[in-house]
Amino acid sequence: MMDTRIYGKTCFTWTLGQGIEHGFLADHRVLVPVVTPALLTRLGDRAWPRGPMVAASRR
């Protein structure tokens, strides 16, 4: 979006912080779940009763 030939000049800039401060946006947190092979092994059939992960772990 930096190409002014395509998108034109920036007419207004409003940051995420300003949006939160003014009450138009909600503050947020990003959560990243991590699933390891060891966790899948411990969960066993409870995780994927008929899915490919269980079949692959039993080879």
pLDDT in tens, 41-59: 877 766 555 655 555 555 5
Query: What is the C-alpha separation between 42 and 45, in angstroms, rounded?
Result: 9
Query: What is the C-alpha separation between 53 and 38, in angstroms, rounded?
Result: 12
Domain segments of the chain: what residues? 4-57
Higher-confidence position of 32 and 47: 32
Per-residue CA distances from 45 to 5, 19, 38, 41 (Å): 55, 45, 13, 9
Question: Chain-wide mean pLDDT for the chain?
Answer: 80
* Cβ atoms < 10 Å from Cβ of 41: 12
Q: What is the pLDDT of residue 37?
A: 85
Query: For residue 29, is pLDDT > 80?
Result: yes
Write down the pTM of the prediction. Answer: 0.39
